[in-house]
């Protein structure tokens, strides 16, 4: 019965977030934790779901030749090397502290969806910033069990990088951080493989359903507002759980 509940929650979340063009793992990790799953296992699921749902679009972008490899590769490598460090650090950092960071991240992600304007603020497009930024975000994403795209996308655009180039690059680089961090969590977290696979299937099917419904010309801005408010609600509930 619990497997059916997890599948249903994952499917509904993935459908809603796909309608807004956003990955669902950011909300899935805290919700799974609230449903009673071990926090590290919930993070491992979030990372696996992120890998499963983004790797397909990565391959498609490579085939369509819309990906700038020279731009994305330094970011991907730095994420791949540092995300496992963040994941490993979660063994030693108190769980409540990590959850507090997750609350702050949810408020940040929700605010960017609701109020953030994806526009250039600076003109700082040095190639050296990519591995540095990727390294910092990689540690955070590994620690929290997220892909890191919600952090990287607005920062890179704000620094002056091309919006379309950054958006395409995100789908390519995220699997590098999520997969390597997931492998790290495997080394010290007890995994229910049936639950993991069920969750991944729910996320993939939800993403397909969301993309299908999107063809009916729904108002994506309104859907994003719902997602942003949902992130606020999850953050507040998570914060109260820490008191």
Give the number of other CB atoms < 10 A from CB of residue 235.
Answer: 21
Give the global pTM. 0.87
| 224-235: pLDDT as tens digits | 788 888 899 999
- All residues at 6 or more sequence positions from 178 whose CB lies less than 8 Å from its CB, including other chains: 47, 48, 50, 51, 54, 83, 141, 147
Per-residue pLDDT at 120 exceeds 80: no
Has residue 81 got a pLDDT over 90?
yes
Could you give the CA distance from residue 195 to residue 98 in angstroms, rounded to a whole number? 23
Question: Structural domain of residue 78, as residue ranges?
Answer: 2-242
Could you give the number of structural domains in the chain?
1
The predicted structure's pLDDT at residue 199: 92
The band of 215, judged by pLDDT with boundaries at 50, 70 and 90, is low
Alpha helices in 145-217 (DSSP H): 149-159, 163-186, 193-214
Query: Is pLDDT at 6 greater than 80 in this prediction?
Result: yes
Residue 75: pLDDT band (50, 70, 90) is: confident
Four-residue CA torsion sign, 150, 159, 56, 214? positive
Query: How large is the average pLDDT for residues 199-226?
Result: 79
Q: How far is it, in rounded angstroms, from Cα 52 to Cα 10?
A: 13
What are the Cα distances from residue 175, in Å, to 48, 111, 146, 212?
A: 9, 24, 11, 23
Task: Return the pLDDT at 86.
Answer: 94
- 50, 146 Cβ separation under 8 angstroms: yes
Residue 176, pLDDT score: 86
């Amino acid at each position: 019965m619990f497997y059916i509940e997890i599948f249903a929650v994952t499917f509904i979340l993935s459908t809603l977030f796909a309608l807004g063009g956003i990955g669902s793992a950011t909300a899935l990790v805290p919700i799974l934790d609230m449903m009673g799953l071990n926090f590290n296992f919930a993070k491992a699921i979030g990372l696996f779901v992120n890998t499963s749902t983004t790797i397909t679009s990565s391959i498609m972008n490579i085939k369509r030749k819309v990906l700038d490899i020279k731009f994305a590769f330094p970011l991907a490598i730095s994420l791949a090397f540092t995300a496992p460090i963040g994941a490993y650090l979660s063994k030693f950092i108190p769980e409540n502290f990590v959850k507090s960071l997750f609350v702050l991240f949810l408020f940040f992600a929700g605010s960017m969806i609701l109020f953030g304007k994806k526009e250039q603020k600076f003109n700082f497009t040095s190639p050296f910033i990519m591995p540095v930024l990727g390294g910092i975000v990689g540690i955070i994403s590994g620690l929290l069990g997220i892909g890191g795209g919600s952090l990287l996308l607005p920062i890179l655009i704000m620094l002056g990088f091309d919006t379309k180039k950054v958006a395409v690059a995100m789908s390519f680089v995220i699997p590098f951080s999520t997969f390597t961090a997931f492998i790290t969590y495997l080394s010290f977290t007890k995994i229910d493989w049936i639950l993991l696979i069920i969750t991944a299937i729910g996320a993939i099917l939800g993403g397909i359903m969301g993309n299908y419904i999107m063809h009916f010309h729904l108002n994506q801005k309104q859907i994003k507002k719902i997602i942003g408010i949902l992130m606020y609600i999850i953050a507040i509930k998570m914060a109260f759980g820490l008191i």
